[in-house]
Amino acid sequence: MSVNSHNQEAAKTREQVKNERKVNEEKPRARRIRIRLIPIWLRIIIVAVLIVISAIAGAAVGYGVMGDGDAKDIFKKSTWTHIIDLVEKE
């Protein structure tokens, strides 16, 4: 008997595997109720706060380190009006 024919005898069809699973899973399972540690509304707020913090940190690094400016200047309105004027320049 060759190895290939032995593998074919041992191989099962999908229907056979499904039937075996059904026989094994006939016991009714008790569903677990999942209690969330952090509610969804709080997750949304946390993600929004993290996005704002990362935007501020990115602006500080970009303006302060890469742009050779003072990182505290990103909180001034004059800095942003200057940046917008540079971007919208025709």
DSSP code at position 79: H
- pTM to 2 decimal places: 0.55
d(CA 35, CA 64): 44
Whether the pLDDT of residue 1 is over 60: the answer is: no
Q: What are the tokens at 2? A: 């060759």
List pLDDT tens digits, range 29-47. 678 888 888 899 999 999 9
Q: Which residues, at least 6 apart from 69, have a Cβ–Cβ distance to it below 8 Å?
A: 63, 79
- Residue with more model confidence, 24 or 1: 24
